[in-house]
Structure 1
Amino acid sequence: MRQRWDRQTILDAAVELLSHSDGDETFSMRRLAAELGTDSSSLYRHFHNRTELMLAVVDHVLVQAMAGYRREGPWRARLVDLILRSWDAYAALPQLAKDTSHYPGSGPGTQLVIEETLQALTDAGLPEEIVPEWYHRLVTLSVSLISAHAAARTSSTSDRQRRLESFRVITLGADPAEFPALAHYARRLEPTGYTRESFLATLDVVLDAVPARP
C-alpha cells in the first residue's frame, strides 16, 4: 500500500531537498515526490501546484527562523534580529532564496515576521501613517539582497570565474586619463559582495535614516 505523507513531512522533505540542491537542479513536485518515494499525486492532495507548495515552504522556513524570538530590547536591535533571522534562514537554502520575491509566504510565519517588524517600527516612534512605508523599504532591501546573494551562490563555478575575470578587465584596465578614480582604486575593488557583513552594513545605513523618536 502506498504511503500517504502528511503536510508537515512534505514541507520538511522540501526544505531538505532545497538545502542540497545546486544551481543546475530545478526544484519540482516530481523531484520532491521521488525523494519521498511516492508520486506527485500524493503531494497534490496537500498542495494544488508548485506555487502553493513554495509559498508553504517559505512560511515553514520563517516559522523555524523565528523560533525563540522575543519582543525585547530597543526597536533597532529587534529589527536587525528579525532581518538577520531571515538572511540566515535563506542563506542555508539559496535555491529557495533566489526566488523569494515571488513567494512572500502564506501563513503564520509570514504573519509573525510582518507583525514584529511593524511593532518595532511603531515602538521607534514613527508616525502611524509612515510605518507601512518604512516596512516596505526594509522588506524591499532585504528581499533584494537575499535574492542577489542566492543567485550568486547558485551560479556555477565557471560563471562566477568569468564574472570575476570580466570585472578585473574593466577595473585594472581602466585608462587613468579617462577614469582616474577607477584607476586609482582598481586594485582595492572587488565585485559586488553579498556577504552577511555587507548586508548588515547596508541595513545599518537604512536604519540610520529611520525617523525614530529621540
Structure 2
Amino acid sequence: MTGRRRWSTDEILDAAAELLRTGDAESFSVRKLASALGTDSSSLYRHFRSKTELLRAVADRVLLAAMDGHQAEGDWKQRITALALRLRDAFGGQPQLAAVWGRYASSGTGSRLVMEEVLQALRASGLPDEEIPVRYHRLAVLIASLIAHEAGAGSITPQEQEQGMELFRVAVLGADPARFPALAHFARDVRPLGADRRAAFEELLAAQLARIEAEVAPRRSPA
C-alpha cells in the first residue's frame, strides 16, 4: 500500500499562499490547507506548530522575495522610502498576504532583513541609539498599516468599487447641511479612501521621516 505523499515546507507554503490569494486569513485554516494538499492536518503540524506560525511564514516569504537583490542606496530617508515602496510593490499583487503581514507580522529571515535595513538607516540619520527602537516601531506600524490598507482597497472587484463610489457619493453629497455643515461645505472636494492611495502612502511616510529629521537637525547644528 502506497503511503501519503510527504510535502516539503516550501510546497506547503506555496499551497497556503494560493489559498490566501483566493480567500483571507479569517477563513483560512490548516484543515482547508490539508484538504487542498490531499493530506491530514497532523502532517502539516509537523512543519508548523499553529496556524499563526504558518501564516507568519507565508508573509515572511514575501518579505524575503522583496529583499532579494535589494541594495541600500542614497541617504537614510531615501533608503527607508525605497524599502517601503519595495515592500508595497511586493504585497501589491498579493493583497491577502499584505493583510496577513499587517496582522500577524513575521519573524523569519525576510523580516530580519527588513528590520536590519531600517535600523541601519535610522542609525545613519544621527538619532541616538536609545531613540532608534521607538522610531523603528512607529515606522514599522505606519508602513505595515499603509501597505495592508492599500492592498485591501486594491483587492475589491470593479463592481464592488463602483458600488462603493455610489454609496460614497450618496453619503457625502446627500449630507444634511444643518447636521453636517462641514461635510456639506467640502462635499464636492472630499475623496473616498481609495483615491490617490499611492500619493497618500508617500506623503504620510515622508511626513514621518521629516519629523525624525527635524529632531536630529538641532543636535547636528554647531553650538
TM-score range, shorter chain: 0.7 to 0.9
Show the counterpart of 1:172: 173
| 1:71-90 matched pairs, under 5 angstroms | 71-90=72-91
Partner of 2:188: 187
Q: Secondary structure at the match of 1:86?
A: helix
**What count of residue pairs does the alignment treat as equivalent?**
213
Question: 2:25, 2:138 → 1: CA distance?
Answer: 32
- The alpha-carbon distance between structure 1 residues 77 and 11, as it changes in their structure 2 partners (threshold 3 A), is same
Q: Distance in 2 between matches of 1:71 and 1:33?
A: 40
* SS, match of residue 188 in structure 1: coil
Q: Kindly provide the amino acid, as one letter, of the partner of residue 110 in structure 1.
A: S
Residue in 2 that maps onto 1:60: 61
What is the aligned partner in structure 1 of residue 13 from structure 2?
A: 11
TM (norm. structure 2) is: 0.81
Question: Per-residue deviation at 1:14?
Answer: 2.0
Task: Give the drift of 1:35.
Answer: 2.9
Shift of 1:160: 5.0
Q: Distance between the aligned counterparts of 2:121 and 2:164, measured in 1? A: 39
Please report how far the alpha carbon of residue 128 of structure 1 lies from its aligned counterpart in structure 2 after TM superposition.
1.7
- 1:183–1:111: structure 2 CA closer, same or farther, 3 Å change rule? same
Aligned residues of 2:31 and 2:40 also touching (Cα < 8 A): yes
Unaligned runs of 5+ in 2: none
Question: 1:47 deviation in Å?
Answer: 0.7
8 Å CA contact retained: 1:23, 1:154? no
Structure 1 stretches of 5 or more lacking a match? Answer: none
In structure 2, C-alpha distance between the alignment counterparts of 1:27 and 1:156, rounded to whole Å:
20
Deviations 1:71-127 (A, max 9, x none): 232111110121122222222222222243331102111111111101001111112
What secondary structure is seen at the aligned counterpart in 2 of 1:209?
A: helix
- Equivalence for 2:202: 200
Give the aligned partner of residue 34 of structure 2: 33
1:154 is displaced (CA, Å) by 4.7
The structure whose Rg is larger is 2
Conservation of the 8 A alpha-carbon contact between 1:59 and 1:105:
yes
The corresponding residue for 1:47 is 48
Give the share of equivalent positions with the same residue, in percent: 49
2:4–2:39: 8 Å Cα contact kept in structure 1?
A: yes
CA distance in 1, matches of 2:38, 2:63: 26
Distance 1:111 1:24, change over 3 A: closer
